[in-house]
A and B are shown apart, each in its own frame.
Chain A
Amino acid sequence: MAGTGILVLGIGNRFRHDDGVGPVIAERLEASGIATRVESGEGAELMEAWQGFPHVVLVDAASSGAAAGTLHRFEAAETRLPTGLFHYSSHLFSVAEAIEMARILGRLPGRMTVYGIEGRDFSYGEGLSVEVAAAADVAEAEIRALVAAGRG
C-alpha cells in the first residue's frame, strides 16, 4: 500500500481539544503524501488498521499527570507501554491494550513507534492548547525524519 511501508495512525477526537493532536498531525503528514489513518482508538479496529505495515507510527494524546506538552516516545515492539498513560476508550480496549493484545497474538508490526503527547484540555471544542501545539510541531518533524529515513 504505502511506498515507504510506514503508516501514521492518528488517534483521537478533534472535537475534544488536545485529544485531537493525533488526527491533527496525521492530517498534516497526509498532505505530504505520507500514508496516514485517523482512528478513534478502538482496539480491534486499530489492529486491523495497521495490518500489513512493517512500521507503524502511532500518535495519541496522553494523560499521565506530566506537564502539558510532554512528549512520551516508545518503541512498542521492544518495550511494554506503561499503563495509565492513555485515556481509556469507551470500548473494548484502548490503544495500550490493543498494542498488548497484538503483542500476545503476534500481530504487532515489526516496528511500532508510539508518540504520546501529554494534553491539558480535553473539554469540548476544537483547537490545541499552546503547549500541545508546540509538542505537535516537534513530533511532526520527528515523524517526517522517520519517514525520510525509511525512504532513504
Chain B
Amino acid sequence: MSKRTLKSTSTVKPGARGKAGGRAKAPIQAVSRNIKVDALARVEGEGALYVRVKDDVIEDIKFRIFEPPRFFEAFLRGRIYSDAPDITARICGICPIAYQMGASQAMEQALGVTVTGPLRDLRRLIYCGEWIESHVLHAAMLHAPDFLGLQDALQLAKDDPEIVETALKLKKLGNTIIEVIGGRAAHPINLKVGGFYRAPRKEKIRELIEPLKWAIDAAIGVAKVFGGFEFPDYEDDYTCVSLRHPDEYAIHEGRIVSNRGLDIPVADFHKHFKEEHVRHSNALHGMMMDGTVYLTGPNARYNNNYAQLSKLAKRVAKDIGLGKTCNNLYQSILVRMVETVYACEEAIRLAEAYEEPDESCVAVTPRRGVGAGCTEAPRGICFHRYELDDEGRIVAARIQAPTSQNQPQIERDLRGVVGANLRLSDEDLKWRCEQTIRNYDPCISCATHFLKFTIDRE
C-alpha cells in the first residue's frame, strides 16, 4: 500500500498542537468558530456533531444522535421469553449475534439453565464470526480511509485494490461462519434460548478451518499495513470496562471488570452503571453511578485482558507497534486487527474440536424470574436484563448497547481532540473530529449513514 499522510496533519506545525500560548499571530478580536457535520459518513446510523469555539475556548461540543428511538424494550413487553433473541437481533445488522446471545443468556439465567460443552463452543465460534466480519468491515473499509486522506473505501480500492479484496474476503468468511451456524448472515435464525434450533453438521464446521488458516495470514498482512499509518497523538486515561473470563479472552461470557478494580457479576450491572437522558441525543448516555465516563470496546478489552490473548496475537500486536495497553484510540484500528487474528485462531481451535452434540439445545421450562446477560459486541459490552412472569412472558426489558455507553467518552475525546488541534483549519478539524468518532465504530443504528458536523468559531 502506498503510504500517505493525512492531509490535515500537514497544517499542524511541530510543537504547536495543544499549546495555548504558542500562537505566532494572536488574534486581536474575538475569533469564533462553529464546526458542523450534519451527517457523519462511514458510521452506522444518523448522528451529527456540533462544536462551538470562542477565542480558542471550547464553548460547546455535542455528539448528537437524532435517529429516532426504536422502542425495542417496549416491543418485548408481553411477549414470550423465546421471542427475545429474534426480536433483539433486529437492533443491528452488523452485530445481531451480540443481541441474540445477550438476550439468550439473560433468559437462561432467569429460567435457571446453563449452556455448556459443544453448544457453548458453537456460541463462541459464531461470535468469532461476528467479530471478524464487523472488525474487518470497520477497520479496512470505514476507518482506514481516515488515515490515508481518502474519502471512502472506493478511493482505497483504487489506491490498493489488493487490501480491499483481502478485506472483503475476510469479511465474507466472518459472514460464512455466521451462516453455517446461524442459518444466515444477517439476523441469523438458528439461535435460541438454550442453544440452537439445529446443530450444524460436523463437516460444515470443519470446512471453515482451511479458509480460517488463510484468514490468519491475511489479517496479519492487513494489520501490518495499518501498523504503518501515522496516528494522531491523543491519549486519555480511560476507565476501561469489559468482560473478563478466567479461562479465555472474554467474548461471550464473563464478569464485568474495569482497570480501576471493578469486578462484578453481570447481574449487578445496574448497581454500578446508569443511563441518563441528555437533550441532544436520542440515545441514553451511559456512565458509572458516580458519573464516571468510561470506555468499552476493543481498546478496553485489550487493556483489561491483554494477558489472555494468544501468543500469535501478542506478537502481531508488538510487531505493529502496540504495547500491552493502548490508550490512543486512533490505534483502535490496530487493536481490531489483533482481535481479528485472535478470533480466527480461536475459531480454528473451536472448529477442530467440534463434535455434533446429541441435543441442539438445553431444555427450558418457562417460569417467573429475572436474568441478565452481557457479551462483548465488537463495539463493547452489550447488556440485557429481563423480568419474566409465571408463564415466561416478558414483564420488563432493559438493553444497553455499547454505543450508548461510549457516547459520553466520545464527547470527552472530542473535547480533548478539538482543544489540542485548534490550529487546524475548520475543514481539517472537522476531518479529525469525524475520525475521532469513527475510532469507536459507533453503531448509531441501522439507518442511513451520514453525520452532521458543526463548528462555531465566534
Contacts and interface: CB of A to CB of B under 8 A. Distances in A.
Interface of A: 40, 42, 44-45, 47-48, 87-93, 97, 100-101, 104-105
Chain B interface category by residue count: 20 to 34
B448 A40 contact: no
Contacts of A44: 137, 168, 171-172
Contacts of B152: 97
A87 B168 contact: no
- Listed from nearest, the 10 A-B pairs whose CB atoms lie closest are A90-B446, A104-B157, A88-B448, A92-B141, A100-B154, A105-B161, A90-B447, A88-B449, A104-B158, A101-B157
A101 B167 CA distance: 13
Contacts of A89: 448-449
Nearest to B186: A40
B164 A92 contact: no
B448 A101 contact: no
Given A90-B447, A105-B161, A47 B168 contact: yes
Given A40-B186, A91-B137, A104-B154, 9 more contacts: A42-B186, A88-B450, A90-B448, A91-B446, A91-B449, A92-B137, A93-B153, A93-B154, A105-B165
Interface string B127-162: 000000000010001100000000011100110010
Nearest to A106: B161
A81 to B, nearest CB: 12
Interface in B427-458: 445-450
A87 B157 contact: no
Contacts of A88: 448-450
A91 B175 CA distance: 14
A89 to B, nearest CB: 8
B402 to A, nearest CB: 17
Interface string B167-199: 010011000000000000110000000000000
Interface in B373-388: none
B86 interface: no
B44 interface: yes
B45 interface: yes
Contacts of B445: 90
Nearest to B159: A104
A90 B93 contact: yes
Contacts of A105: 157, 161, 164-165
A38 to B, nearest CB: 12
A123 B246 CA distance: 48
Contacts of B446: 90-91
A97 B155 CA distance: 11
B164 A101 contact: yes
16 contacts: A40-B93, A40-B186, A44-B172, A48-B172, A89-B448, A90-B44, A90-B93, A91-B93, A91-B94, A92-B153, A93-B141, A93-B153, A100-B154, A104-B154, A104-B158, A105-B165
A97 B154 contact: yes
B403 to A, nearest CB: 14
A89 B93 CA distance: 11
Contacts of A100: 154
A148 to B, nearest CB: 33
A86 B70 CA distance: 24
Nearest to A102: B157
A64 B171 CA distance: 31
A22 B16 CA distance: 54
A26 to B, nearest CB: 18
A48 B179 CA distance: 14
A88 B221 CA distance: 31
A47 B172 CA distance: 11
Contacts of B171: 44
Contact of B44 (A40, A87, A91): A91
